[in-house]
Amino acid sequence: MKVPSKDQSLRNLQIGGELYGKVKVPGDKSISHRALLFGAIAKGKTIIEGLLPAEDPLSTAECLRSMGVTISPIKKGGIVEVNGVGLNGLKEPQDILNCGNSGTTMRLIMGLLAGQEGRNFILTGDKSLRNRPMKRVGQPLKIMGAKVSGRCGGDFAPLSVTGNKLRGAVIGTPVASAQIKSAILLASLNAEGSTTVIEPARSRDHSERMLKAFGANLEVGGEMGRHITVSPGNDLKGQSIIVPGDISSAAFWLVAGSIIPGSELIIENVGLNPTRTGILDVLEEMEANIKLINKRDVAGEPVGDIEVSYQNQLKPFNLDGDIIPRLVDEIPILSVAACFCRGISKIKGANELRVKETDRLAVMARQLKRMGAKVDEHQDGLTIYGGNDLKGCELDSEDDHRVAMSLAIASIMANSNSTLRRSEAAAISYPDFWSDLNRLQQKN
């Protein structure tokens, strides 16, 4: 991973200036990881278009390469070719697998490796990832016969996975997490007998959609599609995949366009999978000016363009329950939006934010309070009192990409300029964020 210079890292953030124009957000991070991972264990060639060329998917690609998967360099348009090695064909790597900052890489790869019989793998990551809980994946995999261990009783990386014979199982997950679900589904492809995952609430379903497209025998059932069953036996076959733009990256522009006076934006090619569109429901509740246009289906995922313009009377919102997994990565930018609503917004049931790249409830509360926002932090959420002026100050992303981009939007609305430490974190999911922001601020 590149080490940014101090100058790159400390960024000056200027106040004011409406955002205007068109922006095409980069490829969906979740779909990019899955396209690489499923392509790697398919038979034959997978061609991916629009892969997100950011640090997290690159961590997945590097791990797969060191297990014998040929993956071309990313060409213009995010085009990548993956030559799959089949369900059980991953090689024992010569070194530790480095998952960088990426929880999706580590957790999905744990599932992928659990059934690679007789081969040994060690997984690690950066300081943040080494402190994120992994037992939530290791434990269900062990029910299937996996051999997984790690620091602190298997909860933290470095982790060791020794591929083993797996058996199908019925597994209820304690939290609605697509990473846990996907790890189990990946392991189930190499198990004896079928496996059913039951989630407490439905999490993003990109794995289900894409595994079906690759030819897996997978069924979604139960109330709200919370029961997913895989019956092994089918090989995966290489596919052509088109990755839509990431709604989690679009979220920064959706909120910026809504709160910055005079803004008018069109965000093109955004993935609109219903398991991801909680942010659109909240913006509707806020009575933001949002319009979906050009709705279409691209390679099994709904996609559209979104128009957004400034609204000076945004209503506050309440978040809790099943909507949380549908907008889990958008809570940092929604907490910025709440500062500009007329009234009190409440976020509850969001404990999962404490175990993301940072403790996002604590970090957002800390950074927004520096700006003078009135925020109460609770164990499972935040209460944000809208309508208080924000002031410019020294901000810090605390090494979290979504925090970096959320604070950048907040700072535009402050009454004096700010600085942002560790701004380079944005490259984890949105490498061109700073240049896109700069361009949208130059009204022509």
Nearer residue to ligand S3P within complex by CB, 11 or 360:
360
- List the 170-172 sheet strands across, edge first: 170-172, 195-198, 227-230, 218-221
Nearer residue to ligand S3P within complex by CB, 11 or 326:
326
Nearer residue to ligand S3P within complex by CB, 182 or 196:
182
Examine the residue annotation and report whether 329 is marked as an active-site residue of this protein: yes
Letters for 278-317 (x = contact with ligand S3P by CB under 6 A, - = none) are ----------------------------------------
Is residue 436 a contact residue for ligand S3P (CB under 6 A)?
Answer: no
Window of 65-73, 171-179, 291-299, 405-413 that interacts with ligand S3P by CB under 6 A? 171-179
Shortest reach from residue 206's CB to ligand S3P, in Å:
7
Is residue 345 a contact residue for ligand S3P (CB under 6 A)?
Answer: no
Task: Return d(Cα 443, Cα 343) in angstroms, integer.
Answer: 31
Residue in the block written with tokens 């213009």: 76
Nearer residue to ligand S3P within complex by CB, 260 or 331:
331
Nearer residue to ligand S3P within complex by CB, 114 or 259:
114
Which residue from 106, 328, 333, 410 is in contact with ligand S3P, where contact means CB under 6 A? 328
* Stretch 23-42 residues interacting with ligand S3P (CB under 6 A): 30, 33
Is residue 104 a contact residue for ligand S3P (CB under 6 A)?
Answer: yes
Is residue 60 a contact residue for ligand S3P (CB under 6 A)?
Answer: no
Which residue from 42, 129, 178, 286 is in contact with ligand S3P, where contact means CB under 6 A? 178
Shortest reach from residue 366's CB to ligand S3P, in Å:
20
Shortest reach from residue 413's CB to ligand S3P, in Å:
26
Which residue from 66, 105, 164, 177 is in contact with ligand S3P, where contact means CB under 6 A? 177
Is residue 400 a contact residue for ligand S3P (CB under 6 A)?
Answer: no
Is residue 18 a contact residue for ligand S3P (CB under 6 A)?
Answer: no
Nearer residue to ligand S3P within complex by CB, 228 or 413:
228
**40, amino acid identity:** A
Task: Return d(Cα 177, Cα 105) in angstroms, integer.
Answer: 14
- 28, 126, 305, 329: the catalytic one is 329
Is residue 273 a contact residue for ligand S3P (CB under 6 A)?
Answer: no
* Stretch 193-252 residues interacting with ligand S3P (CB under 6 A): 203-204
Q: Which spans of this chain sit near ligand S3P (rule: CB under 6 A)?
A: 30, 33, 104, 177-179, 182, 203-204, 328-329, 352
Query: Which residues carry out catalysis?
Result: 329
